[in-house]
Chain A
Amino acid sequence: MMKKFLGIFFFVFIVLRISAFAQSAAPVWVVPKEVKEKVCPFQFTPETVKTGENVFQKNCKSCHGDPGKQNWAKINPPPGDPASVVFQQQTDGEMFYRVTTGKAPMPQFGNILSEEERWQVISYIRSFNANYVQPTPIVKTGSGSKNVKLRMYCNYRHKKLYVLCKEIKQDKSEIPAKGIDIQLNVKRYFGTLTVGNPKTTNARGLVLFDFPSDLPGGPSGILEIMARVKDETGLLYANQVKARLSIGKPVMVKSLTDARAMWSVRSKAPVWLILTFSLSLVTVWGFIFYILISLKKLKQTI
């Protein structure tokens, strides 16, 4: 009986150990097959590498360190060196997917970096791999490939935004572009925020957006708004218009050190504290001076 128990116990123990090992040892980060084969829509050039380096410095370096120097941040799981074989043996699609979706503690960059920027980072990382040969770029044609010009108009009172889209013909003449998908974005501290769904331009090349009335802006409610042409690939925002509009909700952030507080500087000490301290000090030292005067009197009295 005892033996049987021990056997079961041992078996359960082994199973638990193995599963624990599997969990800790295998970094399971499955990339969907169709994404694996995705390729960059543009050719990597020294310019894309340079821009990619900039983006990398600002967004990736704090954890991954400098590629090739193996000086990544000491966190668990280790972020690893992007120049290493483990990284370089991935397809561009896999890299793109991982940068886009993230997996804690790796942040999700899909909303922070544009697709173009993500590809530029990949071109930078690939520059450390001498054997890398870029797959032929596949540029999907869609509305985004049309040469269009955007203009934005704002009705502050009703919080409405109009985006006018005009197609520029080869002879430089402009005609209203119909059937173009326009996406509205707002710049936030960390990445861009998508506002509502894309809308399609009408025959006059116009779309109308109802802008949310409660989106927090700075102290004056100014928001940086972008209207972009969204093509089927959802890839490049070559055609876009930006504007800083005072259309958000003004938010006055009250600093924690504005009011009198325990954690503030001396001049902002709580009044009750200054009073308690000073009154106690004056009282006790008042008595001390009284005693000193008494001592003087003691010496003088006969």
Chain B
Amino acid sequence: MDENNAALNKITEDLTFHIRITRGFKIWMGFLLIGLSICLYAYTLQLRFGLGVAGIRDYVSWGMYLSNFVFFVATSLIGMLISGVLGLIGIKWITPVARIAEIIAVAFAAIAGLVIIMDMGRPDRLEYVFIYGRFQSPILWDVTVVTTYFVLSALLLFLTLISDIAWVHKKTDHLPGWVKKTYQVLSLNWTDTPEKNHIIRRCVRILLILIIPCALAIHTVTSWLFAMSFRAGWDSTLFGPYFVTGAFVSGGSAVIIAMYFFQKNYKLHNYITNQHFNNMGKLLVMVMLVYLYFNINEFLVPAYKLKTAEAINLHDLFGGRFALMFWAVQIGGLILPIILMLFQKMRTPLPMLIISLAIFIGSWFKRYIIVIPAQEHPYLPIQYVPYNFKVYTPTLTEIAITLSSFFMALIIITLLSKFFPVVPIRETAVERGLVEEKN
């Protein structure tokens, strides 16, 4: 029994070890906040002078903001894949990864909503989207489903945290009083009783089931923002599944990057092990193969027929202005990583970090490739407009505003992972037979 307690104490110590304010944390947060302030200054410029400070014009009206939005929505989908799908199937190894995936889901879903506001010329009229939104418009579906998915993800993260918060509350006497007080409020008076555990388990189960259709909906609807319009390059019945599988690719790589940093900085080597990197690598290869399959369909089918308008767009992608980006994304961000990750040696932490970074960056540019070239090639010819209407070039202000979304997401991830256990304490203890799950 004493042995048991000692082991339990060790786990709690290990998993709450990072919950302290260190110098490294201050420097990192300082960097993020300074970066965010600079980017927010760029946003005030946009508020003052209008959307014209960005490179978007009449034809390419969505530009970098919308491709960034798609990227954020996509990345947030990983919470559903790992907690929802794998969790419901009952796959055990995901325990230390699931919360990381949920933190990423919450952060990226929250910022996705903000990214849309960045693209609005009059953000003060945001409520009009709801007041005057048409049931027929994918835009109304999108704002509805993004909000819902964010609430579901936040609830799921919170519910699985409750028992851990109660434990953290007991173990963190070194933190300021108000932080402890916050923990106490958030723990909702949790004690290890069958009734309380039952309520939590039931709610988590409902959420895990709800989150799957909702996550599918959020990204399918996002793809419909494109596929429901008449435009060469977007006019595809494949767009829903194409976007959803692409989402798992960017989200999966984000989780691996986060896993690497948490393992190293929070000293979690005994919990996030090489085996987890290995498993995540295999999972990533699987979703990437599906995504590759959709890519082949998405490009080969229209490229075989080369309908007039499609041909202009595809020529620009395959051998024109976007060729370098297109092939870099498809080869460097998709094909090469798949091949590399087939080797077990590559599925170890450092190689996985490097490969995941390539996939993550590639995923961002993939959205750029989906959004911008199609807008530069409308069905009716672009005539009698200045050059910068025909060819989209993002401005520095626009890039800064886009970067602000990454700073904000990183701040959310940093704060959540700093003040809450990244690896579930109670679940780990239950899995190791140290705590009995009372029913």
Contacts and interface: CB of A to CB of B under 8 A. Distances in A.
Interface of A: 74, 262-266, 269-270, 273-274, 277, 281, 284-285, 287-288, 290-291, 294-295, 297-299, 301-302
Contacts of A274: 135
B415 interface: no
Contact of A295 (B136, B140, B193, B203): B203
A298 B200 contact: yes
B206 A263 contact: no
A245 B196 CA distance: 84
A266 to B, nearest CB: 4
B200 A265 contact: no
Given A298-B199, A298-B200, 11 more contacts: A264-B136, A266-B132, A266-B134, A269-B136, A270-B136, A273-B135, A277-B144, A281-B148, A288-B152, A288-B155, A291-B155
Closest 6 pairs (CB-CB, A-B): A269-B135, A266-B134, A299-B188, A291-B203, A298-B199, A262-B136
Contact of B135 (A277, A299, A301): A277
A284 B189 CA distance: 27
Given A297-B199, A298-B190, A298-B196, A287 B134 contact: no
B129 to A, nearest CB: 12
B431 interface: no
A287 B199 contact: no
B320 interface: no
25 contacts: A263-B136, A264-B136, A265-B134, A266-B132, A266-B135, A273-B135, A277-B135, A281-B148, A284-B210, A284-B214, A287-B206, A288-B152, A288-B155, A294-B202, A295-B188, A298-B162, A298-B190, A298-B196, A298-B199, A299-B188, A299-B189, A301-B193, A301-B199, A302-B189, A302-B193
B282 to A, nearest CB: 32
A158 to B, nearest CB: 50
A235 B202 CA distance: 91
Contacts of A262: 136
Interface in B313-336: none
Interface in B170-214: 188-191, 193, 195-196, 199-200, 202-203, 206-207, 210, 214
Contacts of A290: 206
B136 A273 contact: yes
A298 B136 contact: no
B136 A287 contact: no
A301 B195 contact: yes
A284 B162 CA distance: 22
Contact of A288 (B132, B141, B151): B151
Contacts of A270: 136
A302 B202 CA distance: 18
B133 interface: yes
B195 A291 contact: no
B134 A269 contact: yes
Contacts of A266: 132-136
Q: In which size bucket is the chain B interface?
A: 20 to 34
Contacts of B190: 298
A299 B207 CA distance: 19
Interface in B365-393: 383-384
B304 to A, nearest CB: 31
A301 B190 CA distance: 9
Contacts of A284: 148, 152, 210, 214
Contacts of B141: 277
Nearest to B210: A287
A298 B148 CA distance: 23
A274 to B, nearest CB: 5
Contacts of A265: 134
Nearest to A290: B206
Contacts of A269: 134-136
A264 B193 CA distance: 56
A291 B207 contact: yes
A42 B159 CA distance: 93
A262 B189 CA distance: 50
A294 B135 contact: no
Contacts of A299: 188-189
A65 B133 CA distance: 42
A64 to B, nearest CB: 19
A299 B162 CA distance: 11
Contact of A281 (B144, B196, B210, B383): B144
Interface string B125-142: 000000011111000110
Contacts of A302: 189, 191, 193
A301 B196 contact: yes
Nearest to A296: B188
A298 B202 CA distance: 12
Contacts of B207: 291
Interface in B145-160: 148, 151-152, 155, 159
Nearest to A285: B148
B206 A291 contact: yes
Nearest to B195: A301
A109 B202 CA distance: 78
Contacts of B196: 298, 301
A302 B383 CA distance: 72
Contacts of A264: 136
Q: Which of B134, B151, B210 has most A Cβ within 10 Å?
A: B134
Contacts of B133: 266
Contacts of B162: 298
